[in-house]
Amino acid sequence: MFRNTKRWIPGILLLVCSYGFIAWKLIGFEADFDGYFLNILDSPIFLLVLILSVFNILAEAVKWQMLVSYIKPVSLQKSVGMVLAGFTSGIFTPSKLGEPVGRVMSLPKEDWAKATLLNYFSGFLQNVVLLLMGFVFIGIMQQDGENIFRSVFYYSLLLLVFCLCMAVFIGVYKNRIWQRVQHFRILNKLLGIGTVLKEIKPLVHGKLMLLSLVRYILYCSQLILLLMIFTQNNHYSEFVLLAPIYFMCITMVPSFVLADLGVRNSVGILLFSTIQVDEVAVVLSVSLLYVINQIVPALLGSASILHLEKKRPVS
């Protein structure tokens, strides 16, 4: 009996941390957004935002289903549950580093390391899309002469050049690097886990990038629609240009868990103030986007965690 009880402890701890963090966030929302939610419910656009959130989760579930199939085939329904559980375990950790915990707990323990690597690989592809698309749009905006866009453009260009140099360096000296790595047992073990990435076929890489692009478009569309709800001006074309830059910036700007929403709001105000968008509208849009795409899936994922913990194989 005690052995079965022990299996529930990790899931319960995840739920306590997640709900504590969510409660802390919602207290701030009540203080900032009191009196505004009635306007949201009156807008038919908000329903579209919610529908896009569902498609966002489905797109991520399809991505995860494709990746985890290299370890163990899973149904789309189970993949959705694993993705939601990942939201719950990742919401209270910096940069969602704890996301793999929820996603892999239904797999055998010997597969956790490979599944974790696949999860971070999925996030890496998503960030590549965010950075590349943001770089394109920041290049367009910096031509207007705004200092803020020029600064971000040069910073992102420097980051891109650094990444390219590192890629070239690794490509040229990969044999020497491999020889050095073989002297370290732990690195050898990590490389052994990394062989799962070699099994991913080029066609699958293309599908994963396409799904990452779909999720990116959904995120941008949601932010644009929320800004349309809370603003009375006709800056819609500027919203289209600034939304990709916003997501690029919050990807590059380092933050820790308790400051995550604050960073998102600060970046949003800094960017959208260049087109005279009201600060309250920006805070509402960014915060509500966070609630819809992070907190709500984390709440739904709590049920998935308990269900996955119940079905997790006993080791």
Top mean pLDDT of 171-175, 230-234, 293-297 is at: 293-297
* Residue burial 146-176, b: 16+ Cβ < 10 Å; e: rest: eeebeebbeebeeeeeeeeeeeeeeeeeeee
Torsion of CA 175, 192, 196, 202, to 10 degrees: 0
Structure tokens at 105: 């707990």
* Whether the predicted pLDDT of 63 surpasses 90: yes
Q: What is the mean pLDDT of residues 199-203?
A: 83
Q: What is the pLDDT of residue 149?
A: 62
Q: What is the mean pLDDT of residues 254-282?
A: 72
Q: What is the pLDDT of residue 269?
A: 79
User: pLDDT tens digits for 104-123?
Assistant: 888 888 888 888 888 888 88
Q: What is the pLDDT of residue 42?
A: 66
Top mean pLDDT of 24-38, 63-77, 113-127, 226-240 is at: 63-77
* Whether the predicted pLDDT of 60 surpasses 90: yes
Structure tokens at 191: 């490389």
State the alpha helices, DSSP H only, in the chain: 2-6, 9-33, 37-41, 44-68, 76-90, 99-104, 112-141, 147-172, 174-181, 185-193, 195-198, 202-230, 236-252, 260-272, 279-290, 296-311
Q: What is the pLDDT of residue 2?
A: 43
Structure tokens at 177: 């690097």
Structure tokens at 25: 């966030």
User: pLDDT tens digits for 133-177?
Assistant: 887 787 777 665 555 566 666 666 776 677 677 767 766 665 676
Top mean pLDDT of 8-17, 143-152, 185-194, 277-286 is at: 277-286
Residue pair 299/89 in contact (Cβ under 8 Å)? The answer is no
Q: What is the pLDDT of residue 51?
A: 93
Q: Average the pLDDT over each of 35-39, 168-172, 250-254 and give the range with the smallest value.
A: 35-39
Q: What is the pLDDT of residue 18?
A: 47
Top mean pLDDT of 99-108, 220-229, 303-312 is at: 220-229
| Chain mean pLDDT for the chain | 75
Q: What is the pLDDT of residue 251?
A: 82
- % of the chain residues with pLDDT over 70: 64
pTM of the model: 0.76
Residue pair 204/66 in contact (Cβ under 8 Å)? The answer is yes
Phi, psi of 234 (to 5 degrees): -110, 55
More confident residue, 80 or 309: 80
Residue pair 281/231 in contact (Cβ under 8 Å)? The answer is yes
* Whether the predicted pLDDT of 187 surpasses 70: no
Q: What is the pLDDT of residue 203?
A: 87
Q: What is the pLDDT of residue 3?
A: 47
